[in-house]
Amino acid sequence: MLQSGLTQEVQQLLQLCGLFDTGPFVLVSMDLKDHRAPFQHMDVLRKFMLAHIWGYRTKFDFLAYRPNGLTGIFVSRDPDNWSRQGKALYESWRNYRPDLGLLIVVSSTPSLSDLSVTLKETELLLRFAARSELRGVIPPLFHRRISRVLAQLSPEALHTLVEDTLGPLLLPEHSHLLETLRMYLFLGQGTSQTADALFIHRNTLMYRLRQIEQILGVQLRRIEDVSAIWTALQAAELLAMTE
């Protein structure tokens, strides 16, 4: 319901829950990695979140349930502090339930009117992270201005953008190269981090990156090429969410 936009009905519901438009807001979303049994461990996650985020605070903020996780919405002007808290939360979770993988996304929004867009961006990021077998605190994937522009395009226009930019990498035989490219850019072009995330040797990664450059006719050191590819990858994520 929150992702549908700030309709009058949604605004009244939020106010009944004690959430007024006195932002900015920080969203802390926690998702369990095991999607085979939705809601099975929700109570464990709820108790953990209440104990570690709210503690003994006298005022409770807004808590939204997700299919396999929770999103807390807090009035705050310091998202960086919440990002640091997110890392501490993840370490606590690893000690608490090492058998259950956890994803944490910390995002911010200036007002309730932007809440639906922020929630959609969070959903995209959580889906990407789950599909890529990531865990822990997930850094931002989408540039907000770019994602908002892309969201205004028709599916046909998004398909054209993806095809024109990524073309040959969309073929099944190059799926490993596409995933390598996505992870490489997602991790800030860090070769060691990317190799570790993909469970491959660094030399294998460098070979794949050279293949990608040859197939697409680009140079991954050129900012204009990287910008075009990153925009196309965001468009592909938007398309995947609607399928």
Burial of 10 (0-12, 13-18, 19+ CB in 10 A): middle
Compute the distance between CA of residue 131 and CA of residue 125 in angstroms, rounded to an integer: 10
pLDDT at 18 over 70: no
pLDDT at 115 over 90: no
Model pLDDT, residue 191: 95
Mean pLDDT, the chain, whole residue set? 80
How far from each other are the two terminal CA atoms of the chain, in whole angstroms?
19
Neighbours of 118 (CB within 10 A): 22
Query: Which of 77-91, 99-113, 143-157, 169-183 ranks highest by mean pLDDT?
Result: 169-183
Model pLDDT, residue 237: 76
**Long-range contacts from 54-62, C-beta under 8 angstroms, 24+ separation:** 60/18, 61/18, 61/19, 62/14, 62/17, 62/18, 62/19
Specify which residues 63 forms β-bridges with: 72
pLDDT at 33 over 80: no
Q: Model confidence at 110, in pLDDT bands (50, 70, 90)?
A: confident
pLDDT at 160 over 80: yes
Q: Looking at per-residue confidence, does 125 or 25 come out higher? A: 25
Q: Model confidence at 39, in pLDDT bands (50, 70, 90)?
A: low
Place of tokens 């049994």: 37
Q: Model confidence at 159, in pLDDT bands (50, 70, 90)?
A: very high
Model pLDDT, residue 165: 96
Within 13 Å and on the Cβ side, how many CA atoms surround 12?
3
Model pLDDT, residue 135: 76
Nearest to 115 by CA among 203, 17, 192: 17
Model pLDDT, residue 51: 79
Nearest to 125 by CA among 81, 163, 182: 182
Q: Model confidence at 141, in pLDDT bands (50, 70, 90)?
A: low
Determine if the peptide bond prior to 24 is cis (ω within 30°).
Answer: yes
Domains in the chain (CATH in brackets) are 2-140 (3.30.70.270), 149-242 (1.10.10.2840)
Whether the predicted model's global pTM rises above the 0.85 cut: no
